[in-house]
C-alpha cells in the first residue's frame, strides 16, 4: 500500500471526480480538459502554503520571490507543463487505480 498523501476531504473530492476522469480518458481530453480544470479547482480549494523561513532566506529575504519560486516549483511555469507536475502524476496513478489510498508516494 502506498503513502496516503491526501486528507479525507481531499480523497472524497477526488473520488467524486473519478467518473469525469474516465470520461475524459475515453474522449482523449484528459490533458487538455480534465487536468487543467481539476488542477485549478484543487488550488482554489487548497492553495499553496506561504513560503517557509528557509525558502525566504534562499530568496535573499524577498517574500514575493520566495512565493513565486515555490509556486513555480509546485505548479510548473504554465499549463503546458502540467504533465511534469508531481500532482498530475499522483492524480493519474490514483485515477488509473481507482483508489486514492494506494497512490504512489509523491
| Domain spans, the chain | 8-97
Q: Is the pLDDT of residue 105 over 80?
A: no
CB 52 within 8 A of CB 33: no
Q: Is-contact 53 63, C-beta < 8 A?
A: no
Top pLDDT among 41 and 105 is at: 41
Q: Above 70 in pLDDT, residue 44? A: yes
Residue 23: what pLDDT? 92
SS3 label, residue 106: coil
Q: Which of 82, 74, 77 is nearest to 37 (CA)?
A: 82
Distance CA 66, CA 46 (A): 19
Confidence of residue 92 (pLDDT cuts 50, 70, 90): low
**Is the pLDDT at 78 greater than 70, yes or no?**
no
**pTM of full prediction above 0.75:** no
Amino acid at each position: 500500500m502506498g503513502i496516503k498523501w491526501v486528507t479525507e476531504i481531499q480523497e472524497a473530492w477526488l473520488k467524486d471526480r473519478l467518473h469525469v476522469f474516465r470520461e475524459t480518458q475515453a474522449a482523449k481530453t484528459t490533458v487538455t480538459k480534465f487536468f487543467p480544470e481539476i488542477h485549478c479547482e484543487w488550488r482554489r480549494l487548497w492553495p499553496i502554503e506561504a513560503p517557509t523561513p528557509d525558502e525566504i532566506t534562499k530568496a535573499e529575504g524577498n517574500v514575493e520571490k520566495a512565493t513565486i519560486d515555490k509556486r513555480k516549483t509546485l505548479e510548473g511555469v504554465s499549463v503546458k507543463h502540467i504533465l511534469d507536475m508531481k500532482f498530475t502524476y499522483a492524480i493519474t496513478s490514483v485515477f488509473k487505480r481507482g483508489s486514492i489510498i494506494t497512490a504512489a508516494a509523491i
